[in-house]
Amino acid sequence: MPKIVIQPLDLTIEAKAAQTIMDAAHESGLYWPTTCGGQGTCTSCACTIEEGEKNLEPMGRTEHNTLTSELSEATVRSRRLRLACQARVRGDVVVQKPGVRPAGRSALSLD
């Protein structure tokens, strides 16, 4: 199974082939920031692909349009941004996404 390393948590999870990064995170008991619920219409779940960009399925039209409507094409490419709700895993990747945490824990929790 492909592995996803989530930074800055330094947490490794497994994903089924062709599963989205966000779905794999949810199945692993993690909260992944989103405002559209994984429909690909916002950029709240956007993450930086630190390693393994070629181990993701190519970016689809919806994902591309959503990202470039908020950011320039050059920004999306230079920052290696992908929507976690749309990016499907084919192999190991390392992603950077602040705000990911165990589900059920508040971001304001002090423990």
Q: What pTM does this model have?
A: 0.90
Second CATH level (architecture) for the domain 3-99: Roll (3.10)
**62-91, pLDDT tens digit by residue?**
999 999 998 989 999 999 999 999 999 999
User: HEC string of the chain?
Assistant: CCEEEEECCCEEEECCCCCEHHHHHHHCCEECCCCCCCCCCCCCCEEEEEECHHHECCCCHHHHHHHHHHCCHHHHHHCCEEECCCCEECCCEEEECCCCEECCCCCCCCC
Judged against a pLDDT cut of 50, whether residue 110 lies above it is answered with no
